[in-house]
Amino acid sequence: MKSLYDICAPAKLNLFLHITGRRSDGYHLLESVFMLIDWCDTLHFDLRVDGQISREDLVTPLPPDDLVTRAARALKIASSSPLGVHIGIEKRIPVQAGMGGGSSDAASTLLALNSLWQLNYSLERLSQIGLQLGADVPFFLGGRNAWVEGVGEKISPVILPVARFLVLKPPQGLETRLIFSDPTLKRDSETAIISGFAANTFGFGRNDLQSVAQRLCPGVTQALEWLASHGLSGRMTGSGSAVFAQVLQDIDLMGAPGEFQARLCSSLDVHPLLGWAVSDSLSVSSI
């Protein structure tokens, strides 16, 4: 049977990531620019009229209570919908990579079920549900590249230059919790401004998590050194172990370190599901 919806869930790159402080509840305050890229998972949705939520892992086995299942359950509880869904997941985005794969899957699930169950929830209402699942979920729901602040909930859509990137993921992943709990993590970066970023879009700032990540995961350093050996300036994305560099021409990936995942990716102007939920208001800044 053909799924009612066959949709993709794109990954993201953090072009920079600064930690500017920490709230009294322990959550870290950040500044970053998130860029969508064309490394995607594919999700298949079939309507169930019995109200049940089921999931099938088509490529990579996932934890029983992953973000897709939790997103579907959260939306069902919030809406009291009598309908259910069977979800098939083709997982391609590496896990624990800092590329937002789980959050992207959750966002695509909320958008797909909002339509499949005919809920007609606004983007703001879906984002309220999504933020409870993960700080990056509202970004993917918004559907545009964005300047992100706070704990991830302050999102200002921006228009970024088209670019290509080489993304390199070591075989080891990184747990976000381990990085953010590290006592050596820099937590006092100065507040940045969009105009400063715009002056040097792909070379601006740094990832404040990178030095901690390199100590916890030697593969991060190995990936950065491999990029440097090809004349590329690499940087870690998010809190995972993947690194990336902008490329201006194709590069031979056959020489990448063994068991590393290497892929040439292009930026996306907008999320493939942009418009699947209506926003009350939207303004977009150009970089």
Phi and psi of 179, rounded to 5°? -70, -50
State the CATH number of the domain containing residue 260: 3.30.230.10
Copy the structure tokens of residue 220: 């991060």
Annotated catalytic residue, options 41, 66, 105, 136: 136
DSSP secondary structure code for residue 144 in this structure: B
Q: Which is the catalytic residue, given 12, 76, 91, 169?
A: 12
Structural domain including 264 reads 1-287
Coil, strand, or helix at residue 85?
strand
Please indicate whether residue 136 is annotated as part of the active site.
yes
Q: What is the pLDDT of residue 164?
A: 97
Residue 263 tokens, joined:
């892929």
What integer pLDDT is reported at residue 287 of this predicted model?
A: 65
Instruction: Please say whether the beta carbons of 145 and 160 come within 8 A.
Output: yes
Please name which of 148, 182, 156 lies closest in space to residue 29, comparing C-alpha atoms.
Answer: 148
Cα dihedral 93, 94, 95, 100 sign: negative
| C-alpha distances out from residue 130 to 68, 143, 189, Å | 11, 13, 27
DSSP 166-213: EEEE-SS---HHHHHT-TT----PPPP-HHHHHTTTTTSS-BTTHHHH
- Between CA 276 and CA 120 the distance in angstroms is 9
Burial of 52 from C-beta contacts in 10 A (0-12 / 13-18 / 19+): exposed
Structural domain count of the chain: 1
pLDDT for the residue 282? 55
Instruction: Please list the residues that pair with 148 across neighbouring strands.
Output: 32, 155
98 sits in the region (left: phi over 0; alpha: psi -120 to 50; else beta) called left
Burial class (CB in 10 A: 0-12, 13-18, 19+), 199: exposed
Residue type, 156: S
Exposed e or buried b for every residue in 114-137, given b needs 16+ CB within 10 A? bbbbebebebebbbebbbebbbbb
Residue 1: per-residue pLDDT: 43
3-class state of residue 103 by DSSP: helix
Flag residues of the chain having pLDDT under 50.
1
